[in-house]
Amino acid sequence: MDYKGSPFTTVFAPRYISEALEESPDDEVKFDLQGPQAPLVMQGHNFMYLAMPRRIN
């Protein structure tokens, strides 16, 4: 895993992440996250999935 940037905390529903990875036809998936309130973009060669973070108080 390569990580660049300042650390932060964010929360996603694990079910949605798991479903996206199960449906992916690719062996490798890139996770792109720009900040704690930004959507998570999961992308492979023939696959793209967007997940919105949950709010934490």
User: Does residue 51 carry a pLDDT above 90?
Assistant: yes
Q: Phi and psi dihedrals of 33, rounded to 5? A: -135, 125
| Structural element, H or E, at residue 30 | strand 30-33
Element (H or E) spanning 33, and its range? strand 30-33
In the prediction, which pLDDT does 18 show?
A: 93
Counting the structural domains of the chain, the total is 1
Q: Does the structure show a pLDDT above 80 at 3?
A: no
**Using one digit for the tens of pLDDT, what is the confidence trace for 20-38?**
899 888 888 999 988 888 9
Give this prediction's pTM.
Answer: 0.76
Sheet containing strand 30-33, strands side by side: 30-33, 40-44, 47-51
Per-chain mean pLDDT for the chain: 88
pLDDT of residue 4: 78
Alpha carbon separation from 10 to 1, 14, 33 (Å, rounded): 17, 12, 10
Residues spanned by the domain of 24: 1-57
Write down the pLDDT at residue 25. 87
